[in-house]
Amino acid sequence: MSCNTNKKEQTSCSITDKGCRTTANPNENLGEYWCGKYTDVDYKTLGWYEEEAKPSLDLIQKTKLNKDAVIFNVGAGATTLIDSLLEQGYTNLIANDISSCALNNIKKRIGNKQKNVHFIVDDLVNPNELKNLPKVDLWNDRAVMHFFIDEKNQDTYFNLLHSKVKKDGFVILSEFNLQGATSCSGLPVKRYDTKMLQEKLGKNYTLITDFNHDYTMPNGEIRKYVYALFQKIE
């Protein structure tokens, strides 16, 4: 069982004699539901795992941000993007997820480089600790926002984004595209194209570049994503 037993981090993962419940109802406890996803199987077999998060890394390179820029990864899960950014010399990373079980995989891999990563277990659509987040130079989302199908949750997500991204800061949204799957991990998703992402962000963000990407899952299936990099102009 890979759940963290650190008291501060139990918010999203129920620690009982039996460990995490892997059958949680997502409508009752979303954190525990996601925790189950990361503890039922080896995270490297999950349908969004990337050995190297190349499309995201390519977009981050385009921002030309300094190595001490604040890079905020929402719903980071167990992403290897954090490892790669640390290897490239970035020193000011924030990794959020609703599931501590997910983030623990990153912590284990990066060892003493944890000093360059601030981990925040919190819900993007019901934020507590995230409200105290400093302003960030880059908001990076891969395969997270598309789970927010209720408009109210979308509004909360984008309000948080607007309040936390610095002027001239960047936003990367990488979600299932209009040809993409309609559900993931047992949950329904909303699919996007760049125009829809731009509408969600509003006129204060300008599109820098975008592309569609066919991601190959560990089981060989394809998932179709749109990747879009925006800059906040006001």
Ligand X SMILES: C[S@@+](CC[C@H](N)C(=O)[O-])C[C@H]1O[C@@H](n2cnc3c(N)ncnc32)[C@H](O)[C@@H]1O
| Binding flags for ligand X, 2-41, as an x/- string (CB under 6 A) | ----------------------------x---x-------
Q: Which one, 23 or 203, has the nearer CB to ligand X? A: 23
Among positions 99, 100, 177, 198, the unique one binding ligand X when judged by CB under 6 A: 99
Stretch touching ligand X by CB under 6 A, among 14-22, 75-83, 189-197, 219-227: 75-83
Name residue, tokens 């490297």: 44
Please report whether residue 173 would count as binding ligand X according to CB under 6 A.
no
- Give me the least distance between CB of 166 and ligand X, in Å please: 21
- Sheet bearing 205-216, strands edge to edge: 117-121, 93-97, 71-74, 136-142, 165-176, 222-232, 205-216
Give which of 196, 136, 187, 207 is closest to 166, Cα–Cα.
136
Q: Give the pair of three-digit tokens for residue 215.
A: 């991601």
Among positions 72, 90, 119, 147, the unique one binding ligand X when judged by CB under 6 A: 147
Among positions 9, 60, 75, 227, the unique one binding ligand X when judged by CB under 6 A: 75
- Give me the least distance between CB of 174 and ligand X, in Å please: 8
Rounded CA-CA distance 26/34 in Å is 8
Please report whether residue 180 would count as binding ligand X according to CB under 6 A.
no
Cα atoms in the Cβ-side hemisphere of radius 13 Å centred on 3: 28
139 and 157 Cβ atoms separated by less than 8 Å: no
Q: Which residues pair with 230 in a beta bridge?
A: 171, 207
Among positions 143, 189, 226, 229, the unique one binding ligand X when judged by CB under 6 A: 143
Please report whether residue 93 would count as binding ligand X according to CB under 6 A.
no
Rounded CA-CA distance 73/77 in Å is 9
State the residues that interact with ligand X by CB under 6 A. Answer: 30, 34, 48, 75-77, 79, 96-99, 102, 123-125, 142-144, 147, 184
